[in-house]
Amino acid sequence: MSLRSRGLRFAVNRLRLAVGCLSATGGATRRLTENGKRQTADCQQLRANRSGFVLWEMLLGLAVFCMGAIALTTALQQSLDTVILIHDESEVRQDLESILAEASVSKLQPRKTAIFMGDHRIQYVQEVVSLPATNSRGQPVANLWQVTVRATWSARNRVRTIEAQEVLFQP
């Protein structure tokens, strides 16, 4: 056998080995040749190189995981901000009702007053104004007051304001 025919035979066997290793069966093809042990070892080496993950596959999986984690964190932060905002608004409504109830039982005078409640994050301003009104006969009605309470606080880097107003008559 000449050197050239041996080289050609080696190349053909190598090609058969590669095709056999990458076939749909996935198993090593064993041939009855003089170097059958070498073919099986080469096939296992080729399969070992193909069985692991490639760096770009790992990076792609990591990128997908990171995007999911960032989306979850953003959703949790937004829901937490919404809960805090709802809590603040309900606290403000209760405080406004309380301030207006106190104003209805106290002696009113025209003035503007700052009211401090709770943890002082929310600022309340009460304004009492005398209303000039007349009855159906055209006579002036005394002791008619308009009470306005404004609550101002900061949430989500925005200034929020809620106002409550009530007209009271004190004989």
Task: Examine the domain organization and report whether 98 and 155 are in the same domain.
Answer: yes
Work out the number of other CB atoms within 10 angstroms of the CB of residue 68.
Answer: 10
Determine the Cα angle at 80 with ends 123 and 95, to 5°: 25
Instruction: Output the pTM of the full model.
Output: 0.59
- What pLDDT, on the 0 to 100 scale, is given for residue 32? 47
Return the H-helix or E-strand segment holding 126.
strand 123-130
pLDDT at 43 over 50: yes
Please check whether residue 75 lies inside any domain of the structure: no
Higher-pLDDT residue of 117 and 162 is 162
Nearest to 27 by CA among 15, 19, 35: 19
Structure tokens that stand for 19 in this block: 């095709």
- SS3 percent helix, strand, coil of the chain, rounded to 5, is 50, 25, 25
Specify whether 92 is located in the same domain as 165: yes
Report how many domains make up the chain.
2
Q: Give the DSSP H or E segment for 161.
A: strand 158-169
Torsion sign over Cα 57, 58, 63, 68:
positive
Q: Which residues, 6 or more positions from 159, have their beta carbon under 8 angstroms from its beta carbon?
A: 152, 153
96 and 44 within one domain: no
Cα atoms in the 13 Å half-sphere on the side-chain side of 51: 9
62 sits in which H/E element: helix 55-105
Answer for the pair 108, 128: CB distance below 8 angstroms, yes or no: yes
For residue 48, pLDDT beyond 60: no
What range defines the domain where residue 129 resides?
A: 88-169
Q: Is the per-residue pLDDT at 17 higher than 70? A: no
161 and 107 in a common domain: yes
Predicted confidence (pLDDT) per residue in 120-159, tens digit: 889 999 999 999 888 888 888 888 999 999 999 998 889 9
Whether the predicted pLDDT of 166 surpasses 90? yes
Return the closest-CA partner of residue 44 out of 12, 23, 21. Answer: 21
43 and 105 within one domain: no
The mean-pLDDT minimum among 13-22, 49-58, 60-69, 95-104 falls in 13-22
pLDDT of residue 28: 46
